[in-house]
Structure 1
Amino acid sequence: MTYEETLEYLFTRLPMYQRDGKKAYKKDLTNTIKLLDVLDNPHLSFKSVHIAGTNGKGTSAHGIAAIMQTAGYKTGLYTSPHLKNFTERIKIDGSEVPQNFVVDFVERIKPAVAEIEPSFFEITVAMAFDYFKYSSVDIAIIETGLGGRLDSTNVITPEVSLITNIGYDHMDMLGNTLEEIAREKAGIIKPNVPVIIGEKTSETQSVFEEFAEVRHTNLVYADSANWRAQSLVPDYLVKNVPGIEAVIDELKNRGWKISQTDINEGLNNLNSLTGLKGRFQILSQEPLVIADVSHNAEGLSILLQQVKSLCKGALHLIIGTVKDKDLSSIFHIFPKDSKKYWTQSSVPRALPVEELAIQGIMNGIEGECFKNVNEAITSAKEKAHPDDIILITGSTFVVAEVESI
């Protein structure tokens, strides 16, 4: 198969959460374990850091990877979803997995796929672990997909685990309360593996402490008061720095050689080292055009606070989302004096723009409708003054379709 044929096989034959939603979410690890067994269990061949959470897990993963790269370690990075290219999901020292490896891997496991019938995500996890073994990485930074307990990545025994925070997202699969969601995320806590909690809250504290006690492991709450990094980090990263630093401290306790200079330089150069896209990504100036993949109430609230601090003129919001999102928790976050542009992505899970507009009206918010994000950007640029800000957000899939990224 060619690379294009391989991607078509992965995207169309296999259940995929981005396309199919909840029905593609496998609530056990059986398929992943079977796939990895076929591959001679590559996940046992490298050290790792495991990261779960509602917001900030992808950013934290990139931050830790950048620091480990700067410290001189060959560093694997597995994150999801991708924005533009499938190969963004699997990287070593910031370089994406080669297309020929993707083709060869899929050819190798096709017989097993026919027998096991895994999901898109399960195959991608197995591919990442196989590539990290093949490349002899020193350490791999692994981000969960959804939840933690039953996430396909939860077959590793890491050096340290990080749970960034707990918020209301994917409630149809993870639970209706913060405590229920925390129990799913806490599933990554392993016996005798230290776990960092990025955000201490009354609703989730007892859950994490219960899991740590049962599994005989050390639990550490990241302390923002002890932020040591001498870095000019963007606002989207600020909240995650204490958790990142706490992970680095645990790695140092386990013998990894990492200096304060490595931390500073890694965080200062995060984007160039890891190729992070779609996190407060500035696309153009005058007007300032920013794309950010935030898609739930907590993430959007932080994002809009930062944008508000920068905005000297008017704010133009280009918003698209997916069908299974609780919009009632999001609409009230949008500044009332901002101009709204409703849009949608081309994925089947996208909420049609007409439905988004109707829900907006029901919540007292009106906006213009555009069938795709690039039409919305063009319209916003025509209306905006040089000191205005255009923000594109609400869905990873909307940001992924921005032509200038």
Structure 2
Amino acid sequence: MYQKIGVSAYKKDLTNSLELDNYLSHPHKSYDTIHVAGTNGKGTTCHTIASILQTAGYKVGLYTSPHLKDFRERIKVNGDMITKEEVTSFVSQHKSYLQEHKLSFFEMTVGMAFEIFKKRKVDIAVIETGLGGRLDSTNIITPILSIITSIDKDHTDLLGKTLSKIAVEKAGIIKSGVPVLINEHRPRLRSQFKKIAKMRSSEIYFSQGSRSQNDKSNHIDTQVQNECLAQRAVEILRLRSDYNITDSQITLGISETHRKTGLRGRYELISTNPKVIADVAHNPAGIRSLIYKLQEESFHHLHIVFGAVKGKAIEDVIQHLPKHASYYLCEPNSDRKLSIEELNSKFKEFDLETQPSTSVTNALHYAKIKAEENDLILVTGSTFVVAEIL
């Protein structure tokens, strides 16, 4: 599976997904779907939309990835993980087919989610792409709304090395006649999305106004950005369908996203003495936004526990990290981990103060020892790193 072993698990066509869908008798056609792609913010956006829909009284399926602690985090109904029995039942019932067709982890998980949502009789399911969009295993659905959260550089070995190429991959979820909502302000990318949407007779909406092409990222306050995107998505649902959702339900749903959906690892307060915050930011745009958000905090000195996985342009990430913080480098418990030797070497190229450690828990332990009363500890760099301290 990609989460564990990386690129070698990525499949570059939808044949298996389409065949599995046919074998399962197209379960996703039994309920409405919203399809969400993007470089950053798609998980938070999915959870926020799900929370709003739940607040309005709908039974909501939620499929996201990756998980932090438990595989079942990927598949939820009204904020609750599916049961272990549902997982084992799906696997045992379809074991011979799954083995015969050599399905990937992604392919099996998507099929499982779609079938369980059907059995649970959800009204609507919010579906997050795993990687890219055009060739993602989820891209067999015809949603009532497609959403693209952001375009930035990540997984460039698979999606392309330019923003334009990455945009094409994300735009692969735009379906004929299905409206699409896009969170993008850069004129060149907006024009690209407009062209693709027009070719597919898809009405296009933007969640924010156009800004200078020289502004290389989307709106820096990602939390507000994701909330506004989710709100705009629900407004479009109200406009184009019979979903009955009030403004007060939107406001309440946004405010209760964490409680109602179990969203974790997004600027999450872990402890207060010392203050520890964990965030799954792992690419240049995500780290840039995270460091900007830290400006809202009041602290004397910043300690950062940082680990990463292979396949990332780690130099592009490090350049956005603050120069005067103390860094506690670590290796997450993953086959894809970036070795502590290589990580430390990269940090040294930027003249950053580091203390290497072979484990996340040890790195956090050392950071807590060094931290004084008014200091702040940030744990970030990878989903795998954050997962080990939750």
TM-score by length of 2: 0.95
Partner of 1:174: 159
Q: Equivalent residue of 1:216, what SS? A: coil
Match in the other structure for 1:292: 279
Aligned partner (choices 208, 217, 223) of residue 237 of structure 1: 223
What's the counterpart of residue 342 of structure 1?
A: 329
3-state SS of 1:157 partner? coil
Contact 2:53 2:245 in 1 (8 A): yes
Distance 1:290 1:312 in 2: 12
Match in the other structure for 2:386: 399
Which is worse superposed, 353-362 or 203-212? 203-212
Query: Which one-letter code corresponds to 1:238 in the other structure?
Result: V
Deviation at 1:246, TM superposition (A): 1.7
Q: How does 1:202-241 map to 2 (within 5 A)?
A: 202-223=187-208, 236-241=222-227
Matches within 5 A, 1:137-152: 137-152=122-137
Deviations 1:334-391 (A, max 9, x none): 1111101111111111101111001111232230011111111111111111211100
Q: Which residue pairs with 1:359 in the alignment?
A: 346
Within 2, Cα distance between the matches of 1:19 and 1:398? 13
Query: Residue deviations 1:206-234, cap 9 Å, x none?
Result: 22111111100100010379xxxxxxxxx
What does 1:380-399 align with in structure 2 at a 5 Å threshold?
Answer: 380-399=367-386
Whether the 8 Å contact between 2:185 and 2:208 is mirrored in structure 1 is: no
Q: Is the 8 A contact 1:54 1:167 kept in 2?
A: yes
Q: Does 1:193 align with 2:167?
A: no
Residue in 1 that maps onto 2:236: 250
> In the alignment, residue 366 of structure 1 is paired with which amino acid?
E
What fraction of aligned residue pairs are identical, expressed as a percent? Answer: 45
Could you report, residue by residue, the CA deviation over 1:214-264 in whole angstroms, capped at 9, with x for unpaired residues?
100100010379xxxxxxxxx642121222122111110211001111111
Q: How does 1:3-402 map to 2 (within 5 A)?
A: 16-223=1-208, 236-253=222-239, 254-402=241-389
1:239 alignment partner, SS class: helix
Give the SS at the match of 1:367. strand
In 2, Cα distance between equivalents of 1:380 and 1:90: 34
Give distance in 2, aligned partners of 1:309 and 1:94.
Answer: 29
CA distance in 2, matches of 1:93, 1:48: 14
Q: CA RMSD in A?
A: 1.4
* Runs of 4+ more than 4 Å apart: none
Measured in 2, the distance between the counterparts of 1:114 and 1:378 equals 43
Q: Matched residue of 2:175: which SS?
A: coil
Deviation at 1:104, TM superposition (A): 0.4
Tell me the TM-score normalised to structure 1 length. Answer: 0.92
1:326 positional shift: 0.2
- Secondary structure of the residue aligned to 1:204 is helix
In structure 1, what is the Cα distance between the partners aligned to 2:253 and 2:372? 36
Contiguous gaps of at least 5 residues in structure 2:
211-220
Post-superposition offset of 1:108: 1.2
Query: Residues 328 and 356 of structure 2 are in contact (CA less than 8 Å); yes or no, is this contact kept in structure 1?
Result: yes
Query: What CA distance in whole angstroms lies between the structure 2 residues aligned with 1:31 and 1:71?
Result: 36
Q: Hey, what does 2:217 align to over in structure 1?
A: none
Alpha-carbon distance between aligned partners in 1 of 2:223 and 2:62, rounded to the nearest angstrom: 17
**Aligned mates of 1:145, 1:91 — CA distance in 2:** 16
Letter of the 1:281 partner, please give it. Answer: E
Please state how far the C-alpha of 1:19 moved relative to its aligned partner.
Answer: 1.8
Q: Letter of the aligned partner of 1:241 in structure 2?
A: E
Q: Secondary structure at the match of 1:340?
A: strand
Question: Matched residues in 1 for 2:317 and 2:264: separation?
Answer: 23
In 2, Cα distance between the equivalents of 1:55 and 1:311?
A: 26
Paired letter, 2:311: D
